[in-house]
Each structure stands twice: as structure tokens, then as C-alpha cells.
Amino acid sequence: MSRGRVQAVWSTVFLTPGVGLITLFVFIPIVLTAWISLHQWSMYSPLGSMSYVGLANYADVIGDPVFQQALLNTFVYAVASILLIVPLSVFFGIFLYRPAIRGRSLLRTLLFSTYMVPTVAVAIVWGYLYSPIYGPIDQLLSIVHLPSQAWLGSANEAMLSIIILNIWQTLGYYTVLVLAGLTQIPQDYYDASAIDGAGTLGQTRYVTIPLLHRTLVFVIVIAAINTLQVFDPIYVLTQGGPVNATNVLTYDIYQTAFQFGRAGAASAMAILLLIVLLVAVTTFLRVTRED
């Protein structure tokens, strides 16, 4: 057997388990969801009771005002989170990368530790913090003589409250990604720019940010994927309220499937969410592609 054939055999042997698991737990569920989306079916009836309706579920979903509001809320949540997470992660990454900072390892650990806490636990704690009656945040507002806020109970503030929770929990993770990108920038560039008279701000603008391009693209893509799939804090804190102000696509899919029993419509929503995610990520990668 030739060397190339041996390598092909061993490559197949090592790749088969991983590809098999991805096929079993990713591709097959996607195909099954797409198939269910073409049928009218209740979650509480056997599969044999399905009736083929074609694209009717997609037409009903797209014309549903609740779905439209959930899509808009998801877009607002994702864009606002990314616009805040990216600059903050770059700021903290550069700050923690400085050799003059003492206790950098401890600060990195504390910053990343929030990401390790389960989202449900984080949501429960923040629900207590946001409480308008005995919550610490409102107590601090009263100390400085500011009016109490409804937070999760207000249609104008509920989404902002969820965004703040997400940033607090995930900022450490994205900061670690930025730190990893900073380690790939040769020190020679900073030395050369210092000789040319560039200060800290100049080095950040003309050296650090341009050479972090690939890392920032990766951070934005991962943040987009994570934010478009937000579910846990919505389920724990607001259940999509008040007045659908925090109803996002994933929670709308959950309600449609498990509370209303409309599995076909919920599957159509899931496929539309997948399409939105693929289009958004692909478009962004094309726009930010380096020549």
C-alpha cells in the first residue's frame, strides 16, 4: 500500500467518529426540523398524524406580528450586545496585556470566571439585583436620590437589562480571545512605532487594531452566533415580556412548539433563524475579508 493510501486510510479512521457525531447530532436534526417545517403537526400527537402543507408554515410565520417582533428584538439584542462587547473586550484586553499591570493573572481569572457560571444561575442573581423592591441596584439609586426603575418590568428597560446581563457574563470570554490575538503581534512593530514617535494611542490605532483584524472578526462572529441564540435569561427572567418587549426568536420557537403544540410552525421558525444566522455571518465575512 502506497504512503498516500495509508495516510488516507488513517485520516478516515480518525475523522469517522467526529464526522459521525456531527452527522448524528447536527445534520440529522437539521434535516428532520426542515422536514417537520413542511408539515402540520402537534407535539402531543404521533408522527403519523402529520399532514403535508408545503411552505404554508413559513408564510404563516413570516406574516405573524409576534414573530416579526421577536425577529426585531433578536436583531436589537444582538447588534447592541456586539457594539458594546467588542470595544470593551479590546479595551480590557489591551489593559490586561500591559506588562506593567500587577496581578494580571488574577484579573484575567476574575474577568473570565463570570463566563464559567451557568447562565441560569447568573439570571437568577441578576433577577434579584434588578428587583424594584429590595434589589441592590435600586437601593443604590435611592442613596444618590435617583428614582427607582422598573428594569425587567418596563417595556422600555427590559431589553437593556438583558443586554447588560449578557455583557457582564460574556465579556471575560471575549477579552480572553482578544488577549490571544494580542500575543500574536510581534513586539518589533511596537518598537518600530515607538522609534517613529508613536505613543500608546498611536500604537493602539495604527498597530494593535489593524493587526487584530482576524481576531476581531472571529469575536464578532462568535458573539453574533451566541446572541442570536439567546434563551436562558429570557426564559428565567421575563418569559418574553413585558408586552413582548424581550420576546426573541428562540423563546418564540419554544412557546410555539411546547406551549402551543405547533411543531410545524416552530420548525419553520428554527429554519428561518438558521437562514438568518448563515446569511448574517456569510455577509459579514465577505465584507471583512482581507485581500
For 61-94, the pLDDT digits (tens) are 999 999 999 999 999 999 999 999 999 999 999 8
- 33 close to 270: Cβ distance less than 8 angstroms: yes
Q: What percentage of the chain exceeds 70 in pLDDT?
A: 98
Q: Range with the lowest mean pLDDT among 20-34, 104-118, 163-177?
A: 104-118
Specify the CATH number of the domain 57-287.
1.10.3720.10
Instruction: Give the Å distances, CA to CA, from 145 to 128, 138, 148.
Output: 21, 10, 9
Task: Provide the phi-psi class of 197: left if phi over 0, else alpha when psi is between -120 and 50, else beta.
Answer: left
Whole-number pLDDT of residue 101: 66
Whole-number pLDDT of residue 102: 73
Whole-number pLDDT of residue 287: 85
* Residue 18 identity (one-letter amino acid): G
118-156 per-position pLDDT tens digit: 999 999 999 999 988 788 888 888 888 888 888 998 888
Whole-number pLDDT of residue 227: 93
CA angle, 46 as apex, 42 and 51 as ends, to 5°? 60
Q: Using H for helix, E for strand and C for coil, what is the string for the chain?
A: CCHHHHHHHHHHHHHHHHHHHHHHHHHHHHHHHHHHCCEECECCCCHHHCEECCCHHHHHHHCCHHHHHHHHHHHHHHHHHHHHHHHHHHHHHHHHHCCCCCCHHHHHHHHHHHHHCCHHHHHHHHHHHCCCCCCHHHHHHHHCCCCCCCHHHCCCCHHHHHHHHHHHHHHHHHHHHHHHHHCCCCHHHHHHHHHCCCCHHHHHHHHHHHHCHHHHHHHHHHHHHHHHCCCHHHHHHHCCCCCCCCCCHHHHHHHHHHHCCEHHHHHHHHHHHHHHHHHHHHHHHHHCCCC
**Average pLDDT value for the chain:** 89
Whole-number pLDDT of residue 290: 65
Query: Alpha carbon 242 to chain centroid distance?
Result: 22
Long-range contacts of 103-111 (CB under 8 A, 24+ apart): 108/172, 108/175, 108/176, 108/179, 110/172, 111/171, 111/172, 111/175, 111/176
271-288 per-position pLDDT tens digit: 999 998 899 888 888 888
Whole-number pLDDT of residue 127: 92
Half-sphere exposure of 175 (CA within 13 A, CB side): 27
183-214 per-position pLDDT tens digit: 888 888 888 888 888 887 888 888 889 999 99
Whole-number pLDDT of residue 1: 60
